[in-house]
Structure 1
């Protein structure tokens, strides 16, 4: 998968985030590139829609992880 395709993968929900992680990990593996593990999926959300929800942090960390992977693959 090309880096432009990895950059375009959506992250609107957990299912899409999991697909993104799999695709990025596969691209890294295919090129023999090592990168730290992706951020862990949160398990402490209270479900009240808080500002600064753990999910907001997760998706932000996942974006940074994807950006780092794309930089390594470029």
Structure 2
């Protein structure tokens, strides 16, 4: 069963996002499909748990990247 046949998880933290990116990229290489580069990890977090933290935006961007990739993977 290919990755495209499974529900791709929603990233909830750095570790799950990194695992998702790795799995999607492995599947894309196996299928010889070029994907857009995933959004880079934030480097500007102050660590105070701000409302609208850069990590929240990044996780949303990773989820969007995942959705785009799932449309290309067969």
How high is the TM-score relative to the length of structure 1? Answer: 0.87
Which structure 2 residue ranges, 5 or more long, are not aligned? none
The answer to which structure has the higher helix fraction is 1
Q: Which runs of 4+ in 1 moved over 4 A?
A: none
Whole-angstrom CA distance in 2 between matches of 1:42 and 1:22: 18
In the alignment of these two chains, the number of paired residues is: 73
**More relative contact order, 1 or 2 (CA 8 Å, 6+ apart):** 2
Structure 1 residue 48: deviation in Å? 1.2
Structure 1 gap segments, 5+ residues each: none
TM-score (normalizing by structure 2): 0.87
Query: What is the alpha-carbon root mean square deviation over aligned residues?
Result: 1.4
